[in-house]
Amino acid sequence: MRRFALIAVPYVWLLALFLVPFIIVFKISLSDLALAIPPYTPTMRDGIGDMFAAFDFENFVFLTEDDLYWKAYLSSLRIALISTFMTLLVGYPIAYGMAKAPDEWRATLMMLVILPFWTSFLIRVYAWMGILSNEGLLNQFLLWLGLINEPLVILNTNMAVYIGIIYTYLPFMILPIYAALDRLDESLNEAAEDLGCSRMQAFWLVTIPLSKNGIIAGSFLVFIPALGEFVIPSLLGGSGTLMIGKILWEEFFNNRDWPVASAVAVVLLLILVIPIVLFQRNQQKQAEAEQ
Amino acid sequence: MTQTVFAPWDDPNQKPLIRFQNVTKRFGEFVAIDNLTLDIFEKEFFALLGPSGCGKTTMMRMLAGFETVSDGRIELSGKDIGHVPPNKRAVNMMFQSYALFPHLSVWDNIAFGLRRDRKSKSEIDARVDEMLKLTRLEKFGRRKPHQISGGQRQRVALARSLAKAPKLLLLDEPLGALDKKLRQDTQFELMDIQESTGTTFVIVTHDQEEAMTVASRVAVMDEGRIIQVATPANIYEYPNSVYVADFIGDVNIIDATATPTGENTYALNWIDGQPPITAETKTTFSAGQQAHLAIRPEKIRISTERPDEAANALQGKVLDIAYLGNLSTYHVQLPGGQVIKAQTANTRRIARRDITWEDPVWISWSATAGVLLEH
Give the chain A residue whose CA is nearest to the CA of B66: A190
- Contact across the interface for A195 and B87, Cβ inside 8 Å: yes
The Cα diameter of chain B in Å comes to 79
- Rounded Cα distance between B122 and B238, Å, is 52
The answer to the question of residue A266 being in a domain is no
CB spacing of B66 vs A190 below 8 angstroms: yes
> Which residues lie below 8 Å from residue A124, measured CB to CB, with a gap of 6+?
A116, A167, A168
Helix or strand holding residue A281 (H, E): helix A258-290
| Residue B288 exposed, middle or buried by CB count within 10 Å (0-12, 13-18, 19+) | exposed
Q: A288 touching B, CB under 8 A?
A: no
B153 vs A contacts (CB less than 8 Å) = none
Helix (H) or strand (E) holding A287: helix A258-290
CATH of the domain at A146: 1.10.3720.10
Q: What is the mean pLDDT of chain B?
A: 89
Residue type (1 letter), A144: W
Contact B95 A190 (CB under 8 A): yes
Pick the CATH number of B8-246 from 3.40.50.720, 3.40.50.300, 3.30.365.10, 3.40.30.110: 3.40.50.300
Q: Of A193, A196, A210, which has the smallest distance from its Cβ to B117's Cβ?
A: A196
Is B68 a residue whose pLDDT tops 50? Answer: yes
Position A289 scores a pLDDT of: 63
Distance CA A196, CA B92 (A): 9
Task: Assign B283 a pLDDT band (cuts: 50, 70, 90).
Answer: confident
CA distance linking residue B204 with residue B206, whole number of Å: 7
Q: Is residue A21 one of the residues assigned to a domain?
A: no
Chain B residues with beta carbon closer than 8 angstroms to that of A211: none
Q: Is the dihedral of CA B148, B151, B157, B160 positive or negative?
A: negative
What's phi and psi for B37, nearest 5 deg?
-125, 130
Q: Is residue A139 part of a domain?
A: yes
Q: Give the integer Cα–Cα distance in Å for B366 and B364.
A: 7
Neighbour order of strands in the sheet with B30-40: B30-40, B18-27, B71-76, B79-80
Q: Tally the domains of chain A.
A: 1
Q: Does B66 touch chain A (CB under 8 A)?
A: yes
For β-strands B360-365 and B339-345, DSSP reports them as unpaired
Q: How far from chain centre, in Å, is Cα B46?
A: 9
For the segment A88-113, what is each residue's pLDDT rounded down to a tens digit?
999 999 999 999 999 999 999 999 99
Instruction: Give me the torsion for CA of B337, B339, B340, B343, rounded to 10°.
Output: 140
Which of B191, B221, B199 lies closest to B208, judged by CA? B221
H/E run at residue B107: helix B106-116
Is residue B317 classed as helix, strand or coil in its secondary structure? strand
Enumerate residues 6+ apart whose C-beta is below 8 A from A272: A224, A227, A228
Q: Do A192 and B112 touch (CB under 8 A)?
A: yes
How high is the pLDDT of residue B125?
95
Strand pairing class (B265-269; B91-94): unpaired
- Hey, are the CB atoms on A192 and B95 less than 8 Å from each other? no
Under 8 Å between Cβ of B365 and B300: yes
Instruction: Report the distance separating Cα B128 and Cα A107, nearest Å.
Output: 44
Packing angle, helices A212-227 and A158-183, rounded to 10: 150
Q: Indicate whether A154 belongs to any domain.
A: yes
Separation between Cα atoms, residue B160 and residue B75, nearest integer Å: 24
Distance between CA atoms of A99 and A178, rounded to whole angstroms?
6
pLDDT recorded at residue B1: 47
From chain B, pick out residues whose CB is under 8 angstroms from the CB of A209.
103
Cross-chain Cβ contact B86/A194 below 8 Å:
yes
CA B281, CA A56: separation in Å to the nearest integer?
108
* Per-residue pLDDT tens over the stretch B163-189: 999 999 999 999 887 888 888 888 998
pLDDT for the residue numbered B3 = 62
- The answer on pLDDT for B2 being more than 70 is no
Q: Render pLDDT for B215-268 as a digit per residue (tens, 0 to 9).
A: 999 999 999 999 999 999 999 999 999 999 999 888 999 888 888 888 888 888
Q: How far apart are CA B362 and CA B305, in angstroms?
A: 6
Per the model's pLDDT, the better-predicted residue between B38 and A284 turns out to be B38
**Residue A65: Cβ within 10 Å count:** 9
Helix (H) or strand (E) holding A137: helix A137-145
Helix (H) or strand (E) holding B202: strand B200-205
Tell me if A181 sits within 8 A of A95, measured CB to CB.
yes
Quick one: pLDDT band at residue B285, thresholds 50, 70, 90? confident
Q: Which of A207-216, A263-272, A278-287, B178-187 has the lowest mean pLDDT?
A: A278-287
> How much is the pLDDT for B179?
86
Among the listed residues B238, B226, B354, the one whose alpha carbon sits nearest the alpha carbon of residue B295: B238
**Alpha-carbon separation of residue B279 from A129, B258, B262 (angstroms):** 92, 9, 11
The conformation of residue B4, written as its DSSP 8-state character, comes to P
User: How many residues in total does chain A contain?
Assistant: 291
Q: List B27's β-bridge partners, or say none.
A: B30
A175 part of a folded domain: yes
State whether B101 and A192 contact (CB < 8 Å). yes
Calpha distance B242→B232 (Å, rounded): 16
Compare CB distances from A194 to B93, B96, B101 and report the shortest one's residue: B93
* Torsion angles phi and psi, residue B200, rounded to 5: -80, 125
Instruction: Pick from A186, A194, A201 the residue to mutate for testing the B interface (most B CBs within 10 Å).
Output: A194
CA of A143 vs chain B CAs: smallest distance (Å) = 45
Closest to A161 in 3D by CA, of A76, A90, A73: A76
> According to CATH, where is 2.40.50.140 located in chain B?
250-373
- Cα–Cα distance for residue pair B196/B170, rounded to 1 Å: 17
Average pLDDT of the segment spanning B61-87: 91
Task: Tell the CATH superfamily of the B250-373 domain.
Answer: Nucleic acid-binding proteins (2.40.50.140)
Kindly list the residues from chain A whose CB atom is less than 8 angstroms away from the CB atom of residue B161.
194-195
| Mutation target among B67, B87, B97 for the A interface, most CBs of A within 10 A | B87
- CA distances B14 to B18, B20, B199, B226, Å, are 12, 16, 17, 22
Question: What mean pLDDT do residues A215-229 have?
Answer: 90
A272 located within any domain: no
Decide if pLDDT at A18 tops 90.
Answer: no
Please work out, in degrees rounded to the nearest 5, the angle formed at the alpha carbon of residue B209 by the alpha carbons of B208 and B213. 115
Distance CA A27, CA A42 (A): 10
Q: Which amino acid is at A213?
A: N
- SS3 for B53? coil
Asked whether the beta carbons of residue B164 and residue A195 sit closer than 8 angstroms, the reply is yes
pLDDT exceeding 90 applies to what percent of chain A?
A: 53
In this complex, is the C-beta atom of A242 within 8 Å of any C-beta atom belonging to chain B? Answer: no
* Closest approach of B158 to chain A, Cα-based (Å): 12
Contacts of residue A160, defined as CB under 8 A and 6 or more positions apart, other chains included, come to A128, A132, A154, A236, A237, A238
pLDDT at B299: 92
Nearby residues of B10 by Cβ (< 8 Å), 6 or more positions away: none
Kindly state the DSSP code that residue A203 receives in the 8-state scheme. I
Is B245:B230 a contact under the CB 8 Å cutoff? no
Range B226-239 burial, b when 16+ CB lie within 10 A, else e? bbbbbbbeebbebb
Q: How is residue B140 annotated by DSSP?
A: G
Higher per-residue pLDDT: B132 or A34: B132
Whether residue A111 is contained in a domain is answered as yes
Q: Distance (Å) from the C-alpha of residue A107 to the closest C-alpha of chain B?
A: 25
Q: Residue A122 carries which side chain, given as an amino acid letter?
A: L
Averaged over A112-120, what is the pLDDT?
91
pLDDT at A77: 93
Omega within 30 of 0 (cis) for the link into A93: no
Contact criterion met (CB below 8 Å) for A175 and A91: no
Instruction: Report the gap between the CA of B171 and the closest CA in chain A (Å).
Output: 12
B198: DSSP letter: T
The reply to whether B68 touches chain A by the CB within 8 Å rule is no
Q: Is A183 on the interface with B (CB under 8 A)?
A: no
Q: Across-strand partners of B291?
A: B256
Query: Is residue B293 within 8 Å of residue B253, measured between CB atoms?
Result: yes
Percent of chain B beyond pLDDT 70? 98
From first CA to last CA, the distance across chain A in angstroms is 30
Average pLDDT, chain A: 89
User: How far is it, in rounded angstroms, from Cα B295 to Cα B307?
Assistant: 18
Domain containing residue A222: 67-256
The pLDDT of residue B149 is above 70: yes
The answer to whether residue B360 neighbours chain A at the CB level (below 8 Å) is: no
